[in-house]
Amino acid sequence: MTIVEHREPSPDGARSWPWLLFRTLTTVAALLILGQAALAGEFLSGHYDALAAHGLNGGLLVLVLLVQCVAAVAWWRTSKGPAWPVRTSLIQLLIAGALIPLGEQRTVVRHRNTLPHPTVVHLHGGHTPVDSDGYPADLIIPAGGTVETHAGHHHGGPHASHHDGGHAPGRASVGERDYTYPMRQRAATLWYHDHRHGHTGVAVWRGLAGFHLVHDDEEDALRLPAGDRDVPIMVADRSFAADGSLRYPLIDPDLRSPGVTEPYMNGVLGDVILVNGAPWPVLRTDRARYRLRLLNASNARRYQLALDPPAPGGGLVQIGGDGGLLHRPLTHEEIDIAPAERFDVVVDFSRYRPGTRVRLVNRLGTGPAAHVMAFDVTGATHDDPALPERLSHIRPLDPARAAATRTVHFQLRPDHGWTINGQPYRPGRPLARPRLGTTEVWRLISDFHHPVHVHLDPFQVISPLPPGARLFEPLARLLPKVELEKH
């Protein structure tokens, strides 16, 4: 005779503390997972304030799931319950793991101001929250100072007291300020600089600028030159007094009122070319490929950069611009670069004989301004992989789907100075209110030669169509009376 015993779960076991704790935490974890997904959607749609809540929610979710796993195992082992609670906890952990790393590239930079005057920091080309963009009136007051003491530094113009909505015309902090950069953008060569209204030119002239490099998996997979062969090159012209101090034609040397003397209203040119702060330097190179991240940090000088002697079989191979990698490499004999513009180029120094000195020259300059720096090809020879034919996939925006077309006319007027569509700059007054998630066509028109870039987001140039235009370009160069369309 065979006796079969069927054992039902104990009512006491079903009501044991591990079971009750597991059921409660399962519900809490499910709600936190839904919240995590919602916050991720908010962040990816451009609401960067959701990132901090996403991090707190993720930390709480991990804690709840760990305790839930302990409760599931305890109930399973002590009450002889089924194994599904353990499997449920593991599945929830996997889901949470996919949602938690959203902010892993998030960078917080603290800038401390020990100068005698206010500063503002702008990450040029960064996709940032508005309160970390470096709004011209979001001042960092010198350490030990007060907002009232430096009230005259805010805007320096007749419209400083007006405010028509939008971003507040001045959120000052004393001593230091934290800037949050989510880094949810393509790999690119960015740079940061002072952005105080009316004082950016002199601040950058005196050295308040630097590189900020963004990397991603797409770029890493290309096996581009890296390490010592990935070289940021900040080119800037400067003038020096007899005692070695920087010379700049300020109206107010105390920097309370902005502006330069009348002869320099169209920009200040220097007679010494600096690269990363050094005059006409020389870089020793191996016979190998180098990535040169070229940045024009000059006040007004444009450059036409070329190699002398040219590289046999190819010169400056451009792989990226202001907005990141190009779709494919482009070979140039020379590169025209305007102030604030960046070019990522690859130079193959293995094409030169050992002992060759290669000069980077400026074909638009004369005298000292015609020479930028030099490379001495003296090191070992490296057999580097060739550049891939395709660098990046860039989805072109469709002008036919534009929600609006806007005309933006830049002028220099004797009554108001610099204007857009006839209106002078007024802090807090928006000239347009694009809707998040839409595409617009902006027609840029200028009465003068000047580079233009848009904060917070890049754009694509559609007309006139320069080589490699199917790429994100946060900066455009406008020639007098020339229209440029972007979206």
Q: Which of 140, 171, 175, 170 is nearest to 155 (CA)?
A: 170
- Diameter over CA atoms, the chain: 114
Amino acid 49: pLDDT: 57
- Lowest pLDDT segment from 28-37, 356-365, 387-396, 476-485: 476-485
260-270 per-residue burial string, b: 16 or more CB within 10 A, e: under 16: beeebeeebeb
End-to-end CA distance of the chain: 84
**Number of neighbours of residue 325 by Cβ within 10 angstroms:** 25
Q: Which of 442, 434, 446 is nearest to 463 (CA)?
A: 442
Amino acid 380: pLDDT: 83
Residue 260 binned pLDDT confidence (cut-offs 50, 70, 90): confident
Amino acid 325: pLDDT: 93
pLDDT reading at 281 higher than 90: yes
Q: Which of 260, 317, 323 is nearest to 289 (CA)?
A: 317
For residue range 67-118, list pLDDT tens digits in order.
Answer: 777 777 776 666 655 655 656 656 656 655 554 454 446 788 899 999 998 9
Joined tokens for residue 107: 């960078």
C-alpha 46/C-alpha 127 separation (Å) is 9
129 vs 280, more confident: 280
Residue 159 binned pLDDT confidence (cut-offs 50, 70, 90): very low
Can you list the positions of beta strands (E) in 62-208? Answer: 107-112, 121-124, 140-141, 173-174, 176-181, 188-194
Joined tokens for residue 119: 């500063």
Could you give the C-alpha distances from 71 to 18, 63, 65, 348, in angstroms and in order? 5, 13, 10, 61
What is the average per-residue pLDDT within 157-164? Answer: 35
Identify which of 15-29, 103-117, 135-149, 295-309 has the greatest average pLDDT: 295-309
What's the mean per-residue pLDDT of the chain? 80
What is the average per-residue pLDDT within 347-364? Answer: 95
DSSP per position, 210-225: EEEEE--HHHHTTT--
DSSP per position, 131-166: GGS--TT--EEPTT--TTTTGGGS--STTTT---SS
Supply the DSSP symbol for 250: B
- Lowest pLDDT segment from 48-57, 178-187, 299-308, 358-367: 48-57
